[in-house]
Structures are given as structure tokens and as C-alpha cells.
Structure 1
Amino acid sequence: DAPFIANPGQPKTVERFDLSFEGVGFCYEEEGFEMKDLTFSVPEQTVTALVGSSGSGKTTLTNLLLRFWEPQAGNIRIGEVDIREMDYDYLLSKISVVMQNVILFSDTIANNIKVGDRNATQAEIEEAARRAMIHDFIVGLPDGYETKIGENGLGLSGGQKQRLSIARAFLKDAPILLLDEITSNIDPVNEYKIQQAMSALIRNRTVLVIAHHLQTIRNAHQIIVMDKGRLIESGT
């Protein structure tokens, strides 16, 4: 469920979109996980790759940035503003999310892409799909963009689902991008198209990517290595 978050009385907005994690602490006592004094920054319009084994805290970090959970210590800032000082809808409007487990609805493909921008025109939806390298697949379907898909993308491959998620992100056009690379086995054609779409999507955005592919790690401006909730190494 979405968290209940009380908005500040005088919410702040931001002028720039670098990210700062300052002494961030968080723990799940029942799982014995503790994130302690995590400090690093992501300069505006650069790519930072988060690397680490399962359970190292990579997803926890993205959930804290989205305010699904609150840090128990420290601050997370966009620009110079603590994210707790922003209106929650405003915060989410500045962040696009492309995750492995894409949430798709039992609805038309057009409406699933439109999650990125409820006011988008059909032309804008199609342009986003082209940039996500999924337009040709969609127009090849019997009902094109009006084709209905099942809950959670029933009938679509993992690669097709992620490209729909990328199309949403293009449509939203937020300055910050949270990205979790797909790890499931996908065919080379889908993988190539995803990589092409991703390369275009990250351009001129502040990107935090949970990286699984060596190519992504090599192309990042900064690499953060995590283990058991701690930053154990960073470099460029």
C-alpha cells in the first residue's frame, strides 16, 4: 500500500536535481538488516551505478528516495532541499521509475503507457513508444494501441514489459530516473532494444541505477558498491 505522508505546511521546490544521501540510517529489526551512515552524492545529469549482492541495501535506498519508507537517521536531498520538505506529489513528479517487476494493468496498451502522463495525447504516447523501441511491436498487434493486456502484462515477454515501462518514463520526462536493470533471461533482440532505449532515456537525467550488467557499470560516471547496508567502495 502507498504510505500515508503528511505534507509540510510550507512545501519547498527545487531548482536543480543532484541527489545527496547524508548519514542515512535505516533498519529492519526482524530481518537483521541495518543501513548505517550511508553518505554519497549523485551529481546532476550523471549516472551512478549501485552494485552489490541481493540484500545489500540497493532497493532499500531507492525506496527511501521515493519515501516509501522514512530514514531513521540522516537526510536525503534533491538539490539543497530535504525530500521531507517537499509536497509528496511534487517529489514523485520529479522521479521516473523503471523497475524489473513492472506493474501493468488489465487495460489497453495506450492506457498502460499513459500512466506516465495522464494528460498525454495519442501522438505523445506513440512518440514515447517509438523512443522505447516498442512502437513497431504495438502496431503489429490486432488492435494496436487499443490492444488489451492482462493483469501484470499477461501475454507479454519480460523485455516487452520493461520497454512499456521505459515508454512511461519517456512520457513522464522527469529529471531523475531510478532504474533497476532486468536480469531475467531475454532474447538478444529484446536485450538490444532495451539497451538502445535505456541509452536514450538516461541522457540529460540524474540517474541512480541498480546495475546488473557490466556494460552499465562501465558506462556509469560513478560506481557505489554496497554490502549489508554499508557503502564499502566508491569510484569513477
Structure 2
Amino acid sequence: MVRDPEIFLMDEPLSNLDAKLRVKTRQDIIDLHRQLGTVTLYVTHDQAEAMALADKIIVMRDGIIMQSGSPADLYDDPHHIFVARFIGSPSMNIFRGFLDPEAHFKVGETSYDLSALIAKELIPKETQEIFVGFRPEKTSPLTPAEEGQEQPHGKFTFKAQLHYAEYMGAYTLLYLEAHERSIVSQLERKIKGSPHDRQVTLQVAPEDLYFFDAETGQRMYANKDH
């Protein structure tokens, strides 16, 4: 700083600090950057640090740039499943299955009709292995009364086994299992009664689903609203 450099390079400067001090020091770095206006290249494996500090994030894997953009760009519009999983805490939920020419997505023994969610011209001519992803905060559990009603066409609805919940104050995290995969649902309310070992039905709006090619990991821009 005394030498007035054109750029600062910070290589994981907060890795040895405890959690509370890391948050305070992040604020100090932001204030310092605003005062000096010097370009700062900040290297970190902590996506929370990257999201909190950066104007622009470059996500790399094995020395290759996977995607760059603002924190919001990477969170809302990941181009690769690696970026989708890395950015966000809790991480994006992922189901792996097969999409057939009729737009039926099969996971294990369960099949979902995605014809209302995927543009016809992008439905594969042959059955293709894909990933379907959704953010924890985009899941909505159905109440017992709602489960007995016909659900709106186009919703991605599935049953999950609830193992436990974490009440975090402003929100609650549900840890579940569906299609032999662990998933997380984030709710803006406290769960009443015992949250353990019961089955719940979750639904995700079509505009909140992400599709990725299972072979390449690349985003499939099949979602009509994406």
C-alpha cells in the first residue's frame, strides 16, 4: 500500500482466521478497497468469501476458466454444473436421470413429465442422460391439505424423506433424501412439530429448474423461462 501498486494480489489471506474474525476482516477489506480504488485479485476456495467480496468472480477448475461474471450472474445463470454446485450455500440440489424423446425424465423407477417445461425443439431425439438442478430456497413443501388437491400443471413435484431440520433463526434447512440422493430445502419459516423421519412432498416451479448435459456438464438452455 505504501508503494501505491497498480494491483493487489491476495492469496487466501483469511484462511487461518476463525469464522467471526473472517467476517470482520472481509468488511475491512471491502472498506480498504473502496478507499484506495486499487484493482485487487483475491484468490480463495471459499465461495462465500468470493460472493461477499467480489465485483467479478472467475471460477476455475484444473487451471481452466469455467465461467466469469458477477456473483448474481454465476448464482442465477450457471453455465456448467461445476459452477452450479460450487456457487451457493447450501449447494444446488441435483437429480441425475434420463430424458426421453417424449420429454419424460426418469430417475430410478420414477418418471416425470417435463413436456410443459422444455421447448419442443430442444427435446432430444434419443434418450439422453441429464442432470436436473434446483436451488434449496426454490423448493416449496406441500401441506397435507395441498397434497390431496390436484397440483398446477408444469410444477416439478416429488416426495422426499425428511431426516432432520436445522432452525437457523431467519430460515430453516431441511435435510432430506429423494431418489437415493441427499437434498436440502431452505424455508423462511420454522417447522412445527417433530421434523424427523417423515415424508414430505416438495415442488419446484419450472422457471427454477436447471438442465445440464450429464456427459459434458454444460448447461442445456432447455428451460423455457431461462
Scaled to the shorter chain, the TM-score interval is under 0.3
Name which structure has the greater RCO, CA cutoff 8 Å, separation 6+.
1
> Which structure dedicates a bigger proportion of its chain to helix?
1
> Which structure dedicates a bigger proportion of its chain to strand?
2
TM-score for the superposition, normalised by structure 1: 0.24
TM-score for the superposition, normalised by structure 2: 0.25
Question: Could you say which structure has the larger radius of gyration?
Answer: 2
